[in-house]
Amino acid sequence: MGDVIKVSNLTKNFGKIKAVTELSFNVRQGQVYGFLGQNGAGKSTTMRMLLTLIRPDSGDIEIFGQNLNRHRKSILRNTGAIIEKPDLYKYLSGIENLRLFATMSGARVSEKKLMEQLEQVGLAERAHSKVKTYSQGMKQRLGIATALVHDPDLVILDEPTNGLDPQGIADIRKLILHLGREKNKTLLISSHLLSEVEQVADAMLIIDKGKKLVEGKVEDLFDPSETILELRIEEGLTGLEKIKNSSLDAMIQESRNNSIFLKVHQKDVKEILETVLKMDIGLISFNTKHSLEDYFLKLTSGYSYAETSSNRTF
């Protein structure tokens, strides 16, 4: 499999604001590629440059092995995208919106094919309902259908789960996995939610303030079995000293505000909690969080899990 997207030293400034700085990354054919960063990290700016909505100050972009500047029309004909919220006509039905977007893209799509597209995003039963009656999740899925109406090989989605309820998020996640695994589309998905990217992406890029921090396959970057276990204890240093003088000492990551943070293997959490209880350290509450989330917070905000976690009462 070759590279569908190849970005080299991409830079974009807005006056004194450095939106993207010498950013480089590759997206392989058939990948679901997560583009991860906090709000304002430069994700949308990068995606707009990939779609020629913004001109970079410097750097090169190749898509499908072709220079984007020289082959813009042919590249965009084979690319589907949603940047921010989908731009839909709320007084038209779902299928009327899809038909209109097909016409604007220059694609000749039969009514049967339009219905198949709506079926693919789970909207066949609401094909003739006006978009104004759709939930936000349904609008998001229809927006993705408009991006797919001309059957592109590359799909670019900017924060596709933003503002959705849990069911809407689950629906979009399922659709992304379907497009990648069953339809063999190449997808570039941006998000500020690590948990969402982790569940759908084959590889990911984490950026902050327009700069690349880390890139690679998800399984190579992180050990999914690692967990951060927070123990919140009563006032005083006795509990911390007891843990430091036990077999748990090597697991301590940090301690702060009467909380002790241990990096543990997921399967060992129950056993460790039983050990802690026998130590009688005045445990008030505990909480677990994937170590990947702690890593992401430290990379992009400078904060660790210690500053951002909430406790589960014990």
At 3, which amino acid appears? D
DSSP letters, 160-202, are TTTT--HHHHHHHHHHHHHHHHTS--EEEEEES-HHHHHHH-S
- Whose tokens are 């589907």? That residue is 80
C-beta of residue 117 within 8 angstroms of C-beta of residue 144:
no
What global pTM score does this model have?
Answer: 0.76
**Model confidence pLDDT, tens digit, residues 163-216:** 888 888 888 899 999 999 999 999 999 998 877 888 899 999 989 889 998 888
Q: How much is the pLDDT for 190?
A: 94
Contacts of 139 (CB under 8 A, 6+ apart): 85, 86, 88, 131
Q: How much is the pLDDT for 237?
A: 58
C-beta of residue 242 within 8 angstroms of C-beta of residue 279:
yes
Question: What does the pLDDT profile of the chain (314 residues) look like in tens digits?
Answer: 689 999 999 999 999 999 999 999 999 999 999 999 888 889 999 999 999 999 999 999 999 999 999 999 999 999 999 987 788 999 999 999 999 998 888 888 899 999 999 998 989 999 999 999 999 889 999 999 999 999 999 999 999 988 888 888 888 899 999 999 999 999 999 998 877 888 899 999 989 889 998 888 777 766 666 777 888 888 665 778 888 888 888 888 777 777 888 888 878 888 888 888 888 888 888 887 765 666 666 666 655 544 444 443 33
**Crossing angle (nearest 10°) for helices 111-120 and 136-148:** 130
Cα maximum dimension of the chain:
73
C-beta of residue 49 within 8 angstroms of C-beta of residue 61:
yes
d(Cα 34, Cα 196) in Å, to the nearest integer? 9
Q: How much is the pLDDT for 290?
A: 64
d(Cα 212, Cα 250) in Å, to the nearest integer? 31
- Whose tokens are 């229809």? That residue is 142
Cα–Cα distance list, 60 to 5, 66, 206, 268 (Å): 11, 11, 20, 47
C-beta of residue 263 within 8 angstroms of C-beta of residue 253:
yes
Pairing mode of beta strands 252-256, 259-265: antiparallel
Q: What are the residue ranges of CATH 3.40.50.300 in the chain? A: 3-221
- Whose tokens are 């989908």? That residue is 86
Which residue from 49, 48, 44 is spatially nearest to 60, judged by alpha carbons? 49
| φ, ψ of residue 294 in degrees (nearest 5) | -65, -40
CATH number of 226-313: 3.30.70
Q: How much is the pLDDT for 222?
A: 66
Distance of CA 44 to the CA centre of its chain: 12
CATH H-level superfamily of 3-221: P-loop containing nucleotide triphosphate hydrolases (3.40.50.300)
